Amino acid sequence: MLKRVLTWLAWTVLLLALGAGALLALNLRGESPLPEADTPFHATPGQIERGRYLALAGNCAGCHTLRGGAPYAGGLGIRTPFGTIHASNITPDEQHGIGRWSADHFWRALHNGRSRDGRLLYPAFPYPSFTRITREDSDALYAFLRTVAPSAQPNAAHALRFPYNTQVALAGWRALYFKAAVFQPEAQRSAAWNRGAYLVQGPGHCVACHGARNALGATIDARGLSGALVPGENWYAPSLGDSREAGVADWPLSEVVELLRTGTAPRGSTLGPMADVVWGSTQHLSESDLAAIATYLRALPSHPSRPAATGGVSGHTRDPAVMKRGAAIYDQRCAYCHGAQGEGQAGAFAPLVGRRAVLMDDPGNLVQAVRHGGYLPSTAGHPQAAGMPPFGQVLDDADIAAVLTYVRGAWGNDAPPVDLREAMRR
């Protein structure tokens, strides 16, 4: 009996050791050992400027700078289904920032998702995208961040639930879902397409918001741009490959560039988190890079879609009492800006007729805009941006559901009614 128990224990220990070894090996895939001594790093002015531009392309300040706080000093809480992760201090402060990091440490963080001390980083820091950034661009970012004013702001501790707060759980996630990669240009594509692909897949990390994810937070489609709730937000980042949502395959390239540069274009405008991206990132990019991004986005594979339903016989049943209530609210609260027939005002207030933001199956962004307001970004190309004031203080959930049901079913629009539970959920 004792021999059998000992044999079982021996096999158990062996299997655990093999599992630990496999886990370690999978977490070291594509990772080169660091040099024994830090390589001297001497940045050039051109390298620093390139890094400043790349920091804008990646909207690094969007997560690493608190409103009113020191630039790049971290502290922003990023809510996830597993708890809250706080962005770190990436100023050159030696105690709390990355002042003791070498260029090799910084490259390893971007490319392999590992901190200076060897800890595995949580993918809220989007190294699954940044792994595609070239070493040349990584060094440029490092050079720029070394010029930022140091901040002694301590890093806030993450607040994650067990077991997500353990390195073992994170190692398991990485073994399943992360592998260091390099960006591979496609020879059959144009230089503009490849540049756009690099910016979208790498520094721009668009998948972080637009990527559909599984229950463990890993993206679940190859391109990663099929639409999802923004982590920690109630805004929905629409699919970039669906013409019913945010696909731009049928847009002129100039209009896509205009949207990215100013936040508004004839066929659509940005609100919520995407307005922040335009304000902090894309408006600062060069015309050639915006055109490259537009080229890439216009070439994304299209999902099967139905045309936005306008005119004809309605395919959705709406409660007449709800429509009447919604019409009264619209007349009182909305018509002054958006027009009695939802026609809007050119250059100021968006039309509501046939607008895909109004007709999307998921009405969450509409609920957010009505309850909390929504403002276009103020950009060089559109400095006096109009905004949607919040109505959450005067409209309850039933009112919001009613007015949106009306808007989605009036003037020839034909989108599903907004359920009260949907209004309450947002």
Residue 27 pLDDT greater than 90, yes or no:
no
Contacts of 162-166 with C-beta under 8 Å, sequence gap 24+, read 164/82, 164/83, 165/83
- From residue 141, alpha-carbon distances to 52, 57, 90, 340 in Å are 7, 11, 11, 51
Residue 52 pLDDT greater than 50, yes or no:
yes
User: Binning pLDDT at 50, 70 and 90, where does residue 385 land?
Assistant: low
Looking at residue 259, its pLDDT comes to 95
What are the residues whose beta carbons fall under 8 Å from the beta carbon of 65, sequence distance 6 or more?
71, 72, 73, 74, 76
Instruction: Report the C-alpha gap between 212 and 215 in whole angstroms.
Output: 10
Residue 407 pLDDT greater than 60, yes or no:
yes
- From residue 242, alpha-carbon distances to 248, 274, 281, 307 in Å are 8, 17, 24, 10
Residue 98 pLDDT greater than 60, yes or no:
yes
Residue 309 pLDDT greater than 80, yes or no:
no
Q: Indicate the CATH number for domain 320-425.
A: 1.10.760.10
Yes or no: domain 41-177 corresponds to CATH 1.10.760: yes
Q: Are 386 and 324 in contact (CB under 8 A)?
A: no
Whole-number CA gyration radius for the chain: 24
Q: Mind listing the pLDDT tens digit for each residue in 185-204? A: 999 999 999 999 999 999 99
Contacts of 168-172 with C-beta under 8 Å, sequence gap 24+, read 170/120, 170/122, 171/23, 171/24, 171/27, 171/120, 172/23
Looking at residue 314, its pLDDT comes to 52
Looking at residue 378, its pLDDT comes to 81
Prediction pTM value:
0.89
Looking at residue 4, its pLDDT comes to 64
Share of the chain above pLDDT 70, in %: 88
**Sign of the CA dihedral running 190, 55, 267, 327:** positive
User: Binning pLDDT at 50, 70 and 90, where does residue 19 land?
Assistant: low
Q: Where are the domains of the chain?
A: 41-177, 191-298, 320-425
Looking at residue 303, its pLDDT comes to 67
> Average pLDDT of 95-112?
96
Kindly report which listed range (3-17, 62-76, 208-222, 279-293) carries the lowest average pLDDT score: 3-17
Between the two ends of the chain, the Cα-to-Cα distance in Å is 61
Q: Give the pairing of strands 228-229 and 236-237.
A: antiparallel
> Average pLDDT of 301-305?
65
Answer whether 41-177 and 320-425 agree in fold: yes
Share of the chain above pLDDT 90, in %: 69
Length of the chain (residues): 426
Residue 208 burial (C-beta neighbours within 10 Å; 0-12, 13-18, 19+): buried
> Average pLDDT of 382-391?
80
Class of 191-298 in CATH: mainly alpha
**Sign of the CA dihedral running 150, 154, 159, 162:** positive
Residue 370 pLDDT greater than 70, yes or no:
yes
Query: Which two structure tokens, joined as six digits, stand for 16?
Result: 């655990």
Kindly report which listed range (179-188, 311-320, 417-426) carries the lowest average pLDDT score: 311-320
Looking at residue 306, its pLDDT comes to 47
DSSP string, 89-125: P-SS-TTTSSTT--HHHHHHHHHH-B-TTSPBPPTTS
Report the mean per-residue pLDDT for the chain: 89
Kindly report which listed range (7-21, 345-359, 368-382) carries the lowest average pLDDT score: 7-21
Instruction: Tell me, rounded to whole angstroms, the distance of Cα 250 from its chain centroid.
Output: 23
Q: Mind listing the pLDDT tens digit for each residue in 141-195? A: 999 999 999 999 999 999 999 999 999 999 999 999 999 999 999 999 999 999 9
Instruction: Report the C-alpha gap between 285 and 57 in whole angstroms.
Output: 7
Kindly report which listed range (232-241, 285-294, 302-311) carries the lowest average pLDDT score: 302-311
Q: Are 24 and 175 in contact (CB under 8 A)?
A: no
Highest mean pLDDT among 11-15, 21-25, 306-310: 21-25
User: Binning pLDDT at 50, 70 and 90, where does residue 377 land?
Assistant: confident
SS3 assignment, position 287: helix
User: Binning pLDDT at 50, 70 and 90, where does residue 322 land?
Assistant: very high
Looking at residue 287, its pLDDT comes to 97
